[in-house]
Chains A and B, each alone.
Chain A
Amino acid sequence: MVTTGSAPDFDERQFEALYHEHFGFLVAVAVQKFHVPESDAETLAHEVFLSYLKDPLHVRDLNKWLLGAICHASRYYWRVNKRLSPEAAPEFERIDPATINILESLPNQLAAREALECLSPRYQEILRLRFFEGLSVPELAARLGVKKKYAAKLLTKCLRRAETLYERKGRRRLRR
């Protein structure tokens, strides 16, 4: 078991378990608290893990150490990025339309992907075409070879089915 407060005496599987156990949390902190882009956040988390290896036996509280490290790494990330490209500074002030409500929309996108996984392949395909490829209902109808009215009906049915299955999946998780 790796979820201990103190630094463990490692074997190889524990190294991997440690990485898996904390990776998601570290990336989530960097992304959600400090708005570090996801791919950079993953790199920061990786570097935090590597830097931890210098002196693991002197880390008294692993969770606290990792959290402190990712928070400081995220702050440093923005300090360095702003300093490296002065012309980019105004960019930080300007709101990129693509990132408006990203904190709200990103979880929704992730949830949508998860919901899609609950559906049959055909329903998955319909929702993917509509919401990920951005096809309009007439375009979707043309792609599916059905009438526009039926395509709209089919779309509503897919969404309801996805919602039902997604909620059921959440309840199962709660029971566990």
Chain B
Amino acid sequence: MSDPRDEERKVVTFERARRRPDPARVQEFAETARRLQRERQESVDVVARALRETPREEWPRLATRPELRNSGALNRMEAEVSARLEKEPQEALLISDLAASIAETLPPDSYPPVVLAQLRAHAWKDRGQALAYIGRYPAALEALDRAEQQLSYGSLTHDRAIVRYVRALTLQKVNRFEESRELLAECAAVFRDHGDDRRYLYCGIGEGIQLYREREFERAYDTFLPLIEVARALADPLSEARIQNNLGYCAVEQGDFRMANIHLSQAMARFIDAGKRMEAIRTERASGRLLVGKGAITDGLQRLRDARRSFLMHAMVEEAGLCGLDIVEALLAQSPDEAKSLAAEVAGEFTQSGFNERALTALAWLRESLDRNRATALSVRQVQSYIASLASNPALEFTAP
């Protein structure tokens, strides 16, 4: 039984911990909060409209528009950058430039110093991220340095971790794995302490990917495995799908095809749960190629055939054709007749869909090689890579290997 005096002491200790805040600071906090909230609400459509109505080359001029020179607009620009990184990285870079130029020219007394530092740091962080997406890594790291220089307040450790997470991913791209791993571990701890489970998860995924690149497959597997539960707790099927996909790849590399199949099937199911049907099909194709490459021909071919069927069902003729060539390559040694017939099938699909004539020329050359039994895995891959390159360079002439 507890001594009532202990309870009393606890109460007294608790009371002693109570302190009255400075009313001026409470007022500053409330005013800042109200202002940031208002600016966020007012900027919902302002940024998107300004970007839509202004030609891309004139975006830098938007920096002088008063309605864009506030925290709400900068937050919206951060969201616009994030949304464009994958598909329009050049636009993402232009928007991040705009945000950085606005943030840097906000008057020093426009917000409390901590808030101003955050606005500037996030703008520079976005610029660093966009530069990394287009492969300008040294410039990206410089921008991230600028971002970190803003964060000279102890209370901004979470923001610092966000910047350093981007830096860690950028360092991976330039093979500075050791530094990247240290940063990821540091950031993961900060995110965990702040209850930021989503970013904690991303750090784990980043660390696992790095271990995979370093061919530390067992450690990568062990890093990814506990993250499944974190993703489930966050109800984040897309992250779970990516983790399962990565686990599948690690299992393939370790020669555990049974586990690989389980994880890859789970990955596809989660991609579908997340509404990413195309991602699911691409995962199936990639896992099929991987399995074939590792000698698990039957499993691999099954996945490739399933993927090709799905691409055709979605009228994705080009991807179905490229996947068909994966199968042709796998069949070269064990079933050349089937390989020939599939190459003809792909050529027929391309012709029917009015595909680039140059692709048909390359396929004709491949079929001829197959007929003469002179086709090799390398020549199939060269034709495949040539056809894939036509998407970005449709005028590229085919040169027989």
Contact = CB atoms under 8 A, between A and B. Distances in A.
Interface of A: 10, 12, 15-16, 19-20, 23-25, 27-28, 32, 42, 44-51, 53-54, 58-61, 64-65, 67-77, 80, 107, 110-111, 114, 167, 170-171, 173-174
Given A19-B30, A170-B12, A69 B21 contact: no
Contact of B11 (A50, A59, A76, A173): A173
A67 B190 CA distance: 11
A47 B15 contact: no
B32 interface: yes
B149 interface: no
A60 B12 CA distance: 31
A48 B196 CA distance: 16
Contacts of B19: 23-24, 27-28, 42
Given A10-B33, A59-B195, A64-B195, 10 more contacts: A15-B33, A19-B29, A24-B17, A28-B19, A42-B22, A44-B155, A51-B115, A65-B158, A69-B158, A72-B154
B159 interface: yes
Nearest to A55: B75
Contacts of B33: 10, 12, 15, 53
Contacts of B232: none
Nearest to A43: B25
B36 A53 contact: yes
A51 B197 contact: no
B154 A74 contact: yes
Contacts, number: 134
B178 to A, nearest CB: 22
A2 B155 CA distance: 21
Given A54-B115, A64-B194, A68-B194, A49 B13 contact: no
14 contacts: A12-B33, A15-B29, A46-B22, A50-B28, A51-B114, A51-B155, A54-B115, A59-B196, A64-B193, A68-B194, A72-B157, A73-B154, A174-B8, A174-B11
A47 B157 contact: no
Contact of A68 (B21, B114, B193): B193
Contacts of B21: 19-20, 23, 42, 45-46
B272 interface: no
B155 A107 contact: no
A50 B112 contact: yes
B8 A171 contact: yes
Nearest to A176: B11
- If over half of A's interface residues share one DSSP class (helix, strand or loop), that class is named, otherwise mixed; here it is helix
Interface string B94-131: 00000000000000000010110010001000000000
A51 B21 CA distance: 17
A107 B19 CA distance: 12
B154 A12 contact: no
What 9 pairs between A and B have smallest CB-CB spacing? A76-B154, A64-B195, A73-B154, A68-B193, A72-B157, A47-B155, A68-B194, A28-B17, A61-B195
A72 B160 CA distance: 11
A170 B8 contact: yes
Contacts of A114: 15-16
A73 B194 CA distance: 12
B26 interface: yes
B320 to A, nearest CB: 40
B26 A19 contact: yes
Interface in B196-252: 196-197
B37 interface: yes
A134 to B, nearest CB: 23
Interface string B118-160: 1000100000000000000000000000000000011111110
B3 interface: no
Nearest to B78: A55
Contacts of B66: none
B25 A46 contact: yes
B53 interface: no
Contacts of A167: 8
B34 interface: yes
Contacts of B154: 44, 47, 72-77, 80
A69 B32 contact: no
B18 interface: yes
Contacts of A49: 29
A20 B21 CA distance: 7
Contacts of A64: 193-195
Contacts of A67: 193
B201 to A, nearest CB: 12
Contacts of B32: 50, 53
Contacts of A173: 11, 15
B401 interface: no
A114 B11 CA distance: 13
Nearest to B122: A54
A54 B118 contact: yes
B30 A72 contact: no
